[in-house]
Amino acid sequence: MTLPAVPPISFQDIATELRLLPGEGLSFSWDNVKRLLGMSRLHPGPISLSDFLGKTRPWWGLVPVRSNDIVGTTWYSWNQSDGGLAAAVDPYFGNMPITAIMSTVSASGSDSIINFQSDPGFRNNIKAQLLDDNYNVVREVVLTYNAQAGVQWRSATLGGGDTSTCLFIATGIFTINLIKL
């Protein structure tokens, strides 16, 4: 769902977009409210209802990224089978599970991919954002539907050790947003 682009807008609209359960309440000082608005969690405010017009909550989660090295190539990945902190099923992607998010780094070609369990039913590009602890964007890549794989979105592949299309370039637990363009 996307919030209304023109008034009126209600607290209930915002709570629904944030996927809050009935009766959970809502505060404009909450981190997820600021994240929905694309603001740093340190943003002091003020925040008004009009700031929410046209906003959409993307898929977001924490992903524990591990690495694997084989002969000059490093894979940084989160796989659904690893468990971890990511809420891999979300209405934003039609409740289709994300099974892997990976970046490959090598001199011959570096890129990133996102795999779904099966076809999520859209072909939009996906903007993947790696965020710092305050929800500021640290890295951002755009992934395009890969028709040959059918359930995969892939960034451009760049050679020469260029990692600018890699979402991950290290191991750790990362906060990410995935946004349909």
Residue extents of the structural domains in the chain: 11-52, 59-180
User: What are the pLDDT digits (tens) for 25-79?
Assistant: 889 989 889 989 988 889 888 999 999 999 988 888 888 999 998 888 999 999 8
Per-residue pLDDT at 89: 76
Lookup: tokens for 146: 């890969």
- Return the pLDDT at 94: 86
Contacts of 176 (CB under 8 A, 6+ apart): 60, 61, 62, 63, 101, 128, 129, 130, 131, 167
**Rg of the Cα trace of the chain?**
17
Query: Quick one: pLDDT at residue 88?
Result: 65
- Comparing 127 with 95, the larger pLDDT belongs to 127
- Whether pLDDT at 86 is above 80: no
- Reply yes or no on whether the pLDDT at 153 is more than 90: yes
Question: From CA 157, how far away is CA 103, in angstroms rounded?
Answer: 10
* pLDDT one-digit tens code per residue, 154-165: 999 999 989 999
**CB 53 within 8 Å of CB 4:** yes
At 1, is the pLDDT very low, low, confident or very high (cuts 50, 70, 90)? low
User: pLDDT exceeding 90 applies to what percent of the chain?
Assistant: 61
* pLDDT, position 19: 87
Average pLDDT of every residue of the chain? 90
Q: What percent of the chain shows pLDDT beyond 70? A: 96
Residue (of 125, 137, 148, 149) closest to 174 by Cα position: 137
Greater confidence (128 vs 95) lies with: 128
Average confidence (pLDDT) over 92-101: 89
Q: Which pLDDT score, from 0 to 100, does residue 6 have?
A: 93
Flag whether pLDDT at 84 surpasses 90.
no
Q: What is the pLDDT of residue 108?
A: 93
